[in-house]
Structure 1
Amino acid sequence: MLLLQDKVVCITGASQGIGRGIALGCARAGAKVVVHHLNTPQATLDAGQVIADIEKERSGVGLLGPGAVQVAGDISDECTADEVRASKLREGLTMSALADDLSELLFAHQIVQAAVTAFGRIDCCVSNAGVCPFYAFLDIPRGVWRSTRAINLDGAFYFVQVRKREPDFVMARVLTDRAEGWITQACARQMKEQIPQGGSIVAVSSISALVGGGEQAHYTPTKAGVKSLMESCAISLAPYKIRCELPAHTSEGDKSDRMTLMPSKRKCVIGNSVLPGNRCEISVCWLVKLASELRAVFFPLHHAGTIETPINAEDLEDPVKRAYMEKRIPLSRLGRPEDLAGPAVFLLSEMAAYVTGAYVLVDGGAFVNLQ
């Protein structure tokens, strides 16, 4: 049984890692997928590879005919919009890879428009991107506190509750506390207004919503905020048949207080991009460029650094650190991106029709292992 047959799923940060794993999982479950990624050459290449991988997987679930469409650039562009409309003519599994350019169109409006233009509606949203710099509490710059909150927490809110953008909106203001006044109509509003009404929203979260971190005093509050936000959204949006879930995994950085990270290993990670440098001063330019894929959250899938992705690959090359992480996990192995796909597909599907506001740990048992 294909749990997401003909469902339209929007996924942010889906060109690699966990986002890619969930995108492939949704596609194998029968979904039509809008893949959102950074508008950079590497992310575009990665998204193209995701589509190629989808083509290889389709035959295994009996989906025939063309099934992959890549859309790059501003969806408001007339030519690009025609490309997206053409995807409606495709049979079987259909996937659109959407490269967002914040300098041209607000990320949330663009994703919604792309999905509705291509497939007529949005059934599911998956927020998979975030930022995670490391700082000792007394060393946290004010700008890092603001940017981490803006991307991880504000971004989750805006993607869900975005309103119609005003004609003279200023893109940089999306990252301020007044941003909700400049944007309109994103995922939840679309799900409320479409016929039939409803949908499901999953946010890939972190175990940092539940525990502290010695070098993450600016990060863990944002994850706790997202958890609270999704729980409140589950109540607020239930009358519109919209479910909100929180799957969470563990990330290698979430336990940085237990194992010292060498300065050379410290990086600030945003979605599919890694900012160079030990202390990662995040400029407004970087935020405007990279925040594009950091904007969808409802069901947080929580993990705690136990999932191997390109983000933590360098640190996990250290045999001591790898052995430490594996020893902490009762299932005795690090997780893979596809380990998040199953829980995400379940929560997005009608199999979870009576599940909302749930917080699901996907960490191999790491959180409960206190010894």
Structure 2
Amino acid sequence: MIPTRLLEDKVVVVTGSSSGIGAAVALACAQHGASAVILHHLDSTTEPAARAVQSQVEAAGAATSLVSGDIADQSTASALVAAGIAYGRIDVLVSNAGICPFHAFLDLPAPLWARVQDVNLTGAFYAVQAVANVMANQVPRGGSIVAVSSISALMGGGEQCHYTPTKAGLRSLMESCAIALGGLGIRWTIETDLNREDLGVEGKRERMIARVPLGRLGVPDDVAQPVVFFASDMARYCTGASLLVDGGVAISLQ
């Protein structure tokens, strides 16, 4: 029988969960029986949104903790781990935090390049390494780590020259981690989402929809539900796997 609550009594850490995909993932985890969800938000400007997500998650039945900080700072990963251990263990990490400030390549400032690398790739490394060390030593050991990447890991973007390398790098990082730590019972999966376009530009939404074989743009819950599957024991023989959740865009462009 297929269980209806795939994350019963599991402790889940979700980074970048004050809005969008991260918020949908946190809520979906609670709805699937997670006993605790540790939410991460970047700074005080996102706190109201993070508190709103926290209220929704608690209403769905999970205990929560908020961890404020910069994911590009290694101390934030330590704080996330401490919050998880306070609930007894960490069963799942969903590494979702990321930024994509669009900018033309020829005058792309070096500080912006560095900031995107620090948040999207180095920050993911810090979180994954910190949680993996916990999973490797807890009893019973092991767990599941899901990284939310992007279709940009597979194809370029004219105003994303600083962004797409981080998503390709994240894909490579997860595949390497699957090899390095598979023997410790830690599973790794890359969950990709729709490219984060600025849909406010006139005509861009229509052009984007025209590229999607399913005929609509994705919503955060379209990514959250596959994340729950990979985080659960239903995917216990999946590791180093990559799943496109793009409405068929990649196939249509081949």
TM-score, normalised by the number of residues in structure 1: 0.64
- 1:140 corresponds to: 108
| Offset of residue 157 of structure 1 | 1.5
1:247 counterpart (191, 202, 205): 191
Q: Matched residues in 2 for 1:232 and 1:316: separation?
A: 34
- 2:63 corresponds to: 94
Seen in structure 2, the aligned counterparts of structure 1 residues 323 and 125 have a Cα distance that, compared at 3 Å, is same
2:81 counterpart (112, 119, 128): 112
The runs of 5 or more residues in structure 1 that have no matched partner are 59-66, 68-92, 162-185, 254-314
> Does residue 219 of structure 2 align to residue 336 of structure 1?
yes
> Does residue 182 of structure 2 align to residue 238 of structure 1?
yes
The runs of 5 or more residues in structure 2 that have no matched partner are none
- 2:153 corresponds to: 209
Residue 212 of structure 1 aligns to a residue in which SS?
coil
| Offset of residue 200 of structure 1 | 0.6
Residue 206 of structure 2 aligns to a residue in which SS?
helix
Partner amino acid, structure 1, of 2:160: Q
Q: Matched residues in 2 for 1:158 and 1:55: separation?
A: 27
Partner amino acid, structure 1, of 2:103: Y
2:5 counterpart (2, 5, 10): 2
TM-score, normalised by the number of residues in structure 2: 0.91
- 2:206 corresponds to: 323
Partner amino acid, structure 2, of 1:236: A
Offset from partner CA, 1:44-85 (integer Å, 9 cap, x none):
2212211322344x3xxxxxxxx4xxxxxxxxxxxxxxxxxx
| Offset of residue 147 of structure 1 | 2.2
After the TM superposition, which of the residue ranges 315-324 and 21-30 deviates more from structure 2? Answer: 315-324
- 1:38 corresponds to: 42
Offset from partner CA, 1:254-311 (integer Å, 9 cap, x none):
xxxxxxxxxxxxxxxxxxxxxxxxxxxxxxxxxxxxxxxxxxxxxxxxxxxxxxxxxx
Seen in structure 2, the aligned counterparts of structure 1 residues 148 and 105 have a Cα distance that, compared at 3 Å, is closer
| Offset of residue 105 of structure 1 | 8.4
Seen in structure 2, the aligned counterparts of structure 1 residues 116 and 250 have a Cα distance that, compared at 3 Å, is same
Of all paired residues, the percent bearing the same amino acid is 52
Q: Matched residues in 2 for 1:11 and 1:252: separation?
A: 19
| Offset of residue 322 of structure 1 | 1.4
Q: Matched residues in 1 for 2:172 and 2:67: separation?
A: 29
Cα-Cα RMSD: 1.9
Q: Matched residues in 1 for 2:54 and 2:97: separation?
A: 19
Q: How does 1:162-311 map to 2 (within 5 A)?
A: 186-253=130-197
Offset from partner CA, 1:294-352 (integer Å, 9 cap, x none):
xxxxxxxxxxxxxxxxxxxxx43456211111111111111111111110000000000
After the TM superposition, which of the residue ranges 148-157 and 326-335 deviates more from structure 2? Answer: 148-157
Q: Matched residues in 2 for 1:158 and 1:97: separation?
A: 18
Offset from partner CA, 1:76-111 (integer Å, 9 cap, x none):
xxxxxxxxxxxxxxxxx3222233378x98101101
Q: Matched residues in 2 for 1:105 and 1:317: separation?
A: 34
Offset from partner CA, 1:223-282 (integer Å, 9 cap, x none):
1111111000011110110001001012243xxxxxxxxxxxxxxxxxxxxxxxxxxxxx
- 2:242 corresponds to: 359
Residue 248 of structure 2 aligns to a residue in which SS?
coil
> Does residue 128 of structure 2 align to residue 160 of structure 1?
yes
Residue 15 of structure 1 aligns to a residue in which SS?
coil
Residue 65 of structure 2 aligns to a residue in which SS?
strand
Q: Matched residues in 1 for 2:107 and 2:40: separation?
A: 33
Q: Matched residues in 1 for 2:212 and 2:104: separation?
A: 26
Q: Matched residues in 1 for 2:25 and 2:155: separation?
A: 25
Count of aligned pairs: 249
Offset from partner CA, 1:171-217 (integer Å, 9 cap, x none):
xxxxxxxxxxxxxxx10000001110001111110111111122222
Seen in structure 2, the aligned counterparts of structure 1 residues 357 and 105 have a Cα distance that, compared at 3 Å, is closer
Residue 95 of structure 1 aligns to a residue in which SS?
strand
